[in-house]
Structures are given as structure tokens and as C-alpha cells.
Amino acid sequence: MMQPELKEQQNNIMIIEADNKYNYHWEKFLEDHELSTIYHTLEWLNVLEKETGQKILKLIFLDENDNIEGLFPLQYTQGFPLGFGGVPASKRLSSLPRTPVSGPLTLNDRAKALLLQKAIDAVSKDSGYLLQIKSLESEIDDCVSDLNKYFWREIYVKEIPEFPEEIRFGKSKNHAKIKWAVNKAEQNNVTHRTAQTEDDLKNWYHLYLDTMRFHATPARSYNFFKDLWKILRPKELMQLQLAELEENGKSKVIAGSILFFYNKTVTHAFSGSSRIRKHIELRPNDFLHWHAMIQAQSEGYKFYDFGEVSKGNTGLAAYKKKWDTTKLKMYHYYYPDPVQLQSENLDSGTVGVLKEKIWQSLPLGLTARLGKFIYTKL
């Protein structure tokens, strides 16, 4: 697919489409910016490129002295035809698709406004695409008047105190319940470890597939997670944390979480757990979150990101609230305005084309293949 050439130079200020020679400068800018996220890193962008074979468009704003004042990663999506799946499944130039949040990262409003305008110009040249930008709270409000703002979801983040004796998991009542659950798991021979081999990843992936099927949500492909393992893990940006049950002299993985480590934040990104009742009753997810936050504190991280919750999922929202989290709002910004679609369709979910019960009845292997196909379009 042809992409518009995005270059502009005016009064010695330049917006360029970065190539690999700017990788060092990109990484250095992220290192120095307090709001940079794992989703701005070249490693994450590399994984997204491998997932669909579609190149990332990396815009860089250079000042009069060729210093970087801002960067903005975007990627084109193929989308589904005939409006199938609504806005989330449309043809988009997105920052970034298949990513919770990743808008422009800049030093000032001038750089932010010009980078946003260049993205708008790109989709203006091809009316078949929507520009989609994902942002926390109101980070890009008033920068460009042409953007149309829609509330998307809420995200739950826990601030981690500096000293171990100060860490509390929720209010007194919730803290006691969580600690009881962790103690119960430990008393019933549940142990915690960090995955070390790709066999660990494969074993966890089956739990992930089953979990995603239960929630009637398409699963990311195994190759996606293998790329995370090969690209992010060697740089200590990613870990797979496992909860194992010791039974009859054997260890069985009953839950696992993929965590990202970047800047001041540990992000709970993907999880999978056994659907067997006796395993659920051991509360392995509480067990994993507990250990992850203890580790995050010991390594000097300031925040633990529990991730987003879709509208109407009150059970998941309540689960994340019990950890004494702060709720932040996530917004999607569009150009042009997708007025032909009802606003509620902006949170239709990636599996809106299939009924929940049908999806839950599918064989795991088929859900994996369907998920791989769906994410090549989104």
C-alpha cells in the first residue's frame, strides 16, 4: 500500500518520516521524556510491524538546530470492508493500532500541534482512512481543532509507595482479603516464578487462549508473543510471570501474566489462567498481581498499570478498584468525525461480529486462527 510522503520544512523547522538512522535519537528522546511509555519504544513498534507486515510511520519534529522536540508513531490498518465491526475495525492511520494508548510525545504544544496536523494532512489525501489517536485524559485537547474526541475506556493505575512497609493493596478490608487469598495460594503449594524458556511461553499460551475464549475476545497469535519474547525480553522490557501448583511431585502452570517494564511503570499487559474450578479458587491472579507489585517496588518503579476496562464490564472494574487504584480516562480522537456510526459503537469491541456464546463454543485452535486473522485487519 502506498503511503503519503510526510515531509515538511518551513523556517528551518522540519517534520520528517524517520528511518533507521534516527533510532538512537528516538531512543534517547524517550529516555529523557518523563511521559514516554513502553508503547513508544522501537521494540514495541518492531513487534507491531511483524504482527501485520505493515511498516510503522515514525514522524519526528526537528527544531531549528536539528534537535528532536517530538515524535509520533503511526501505523496504517487494512480494516474490514463495508463498515464491518464499526470504527474499531475501520481503515485507519492509528497511533497506535492494537495498542492501549500511544499518542504524540513532545516537549511543547507547538511540536504536538504540528505533528498532529501532519497526520491529519496524511488522511486528508486519502479519504478512505480515519485518523485515530489514543490518549490518556485530555493530553491533546485544543492542540488541533479538527480532531473529534470520544471517550473510550477507563484505565486503572496503582501508585507504588517507596517503602515496603507502606505498601497497601486496597483499603483495610480489601487488603485483608487480598492477603488472605495470597496466603491461601501459598498454603496450597502455589509458587511464583519468572518464565525462562520458550516452552514456558508455549504452556502459558494455551491458558491465554482459553481465557480469551471465555471472555469472547479474539486472541493475539502465538507469533506475536514469541516476538515479544525475542525482542523485548532480552532488553528486560518484558517478563512472563507464572503461578504454578505443586501436585503429586509435579508442577503445573495455572496462571501467568505478561508484564512490561519501562520508565516508571510496570504494565500488566496480557494474562491467562486455568478455568478449572479448584484452580480458580486458589486466586492465582491475585497471587500474581501481589508478587508483581512487590517486585516493582523493589526495583524502584512508581506505578503499576492494571490496564483498561471496557464500558459495562463492572466485574473487572470492581476487581481493579479493590487494589486502591486511580481511575484515568482514555480517549480516542478521530479525523474526520465518524458521524455515520453511533457513538456507542466506538466501544463495540473487536469481536462484535460474533455472538459471545458462539465464540465460547469454538475449538481453541480455531479461535487462535481467527484471532490472528482479525488482528491483521485491526
Q: Provide the residue ranges of all domains of the chain, joining segments of one domain with +.
A: 8-152+330-347, 157-328
* Spatial distance between the Cα atoms of 278 and 301, rounded to a whole number of angstroms: 33
State the chain's maximal CA–CA distance in angstroms.
Answer: 73
* Spatial distance between the Cα atoms of 167 and 152, rounded to a whole number of angstroms: 30
Residue 53, all three cell numbers: 507486515
Closest CA to 217 of 52, 314, 349: 349
pLDDT digits (tens, 9 = 90+) for 86-140: 787 889 999 999 999 999 999 999 999 999 999 999 998 877 889 999 998 777 8
- Taking a C-beta distance cutoff of 8 angstroms, is the pair 109, 102 a contact? no
pLDDT for position 260: 98
- Taking a C-beta distance cutoff of 8 angstroms, is the pair 57, 92 a contact? no
Three-state secondary-structure class, residue 357 = helix
Q: How many residues does the chain have?
A: 378
Same fold flag, 8-152+330-347 and 157-328: yes
The overall average pLDDT reported for the chain is 87
pLDDT class of 351 with cuts at 50, 70, 90: very low
Taking each helix axis from N to C terminus, what angle separates 23-32 and 42-52, rounded to the nearest 10 degrees? Answer: 120
- Could you confirm whether domain 157-328 is CATH 3.40.630.30? yes
Write down the pTM of the prediction.
0.90
Query: In DSSP terms, which residues pair with 13 in a beta bridge?
Result: 10
Residue 169, all three cell numbers: 493493596
Give the N- to C-terminal CA distance of the chain in Å, as an integer: 16
Flag whether pLDDT at 4 surpasses 50: no
- Taking a C-beta distance cutoff of 8 angstroms, is the pair 238, 299 a contact? no
In degrees rounded to 5, what are phi and psi of residue 338? -75, 60
Task: Identify residue 298 by its one-letter amino acid code.
Answer: S
pLDDT for position 128: 83
Closest CA to 323 of 290, 297, 365, 298: 290
- Taking a C-beta distance cutoff of 8 angstroms, is the pair 292, 306 a contact? no
Flag whether pLDDT at 345 surpasses 50: no
* Spatial distance between the Cα atoms of 155 and 135, rounded to a whole number of angstroms: 11
Q: Taking the domain 8-152+330-347, which CATH number applies? A: 3.40.630.30
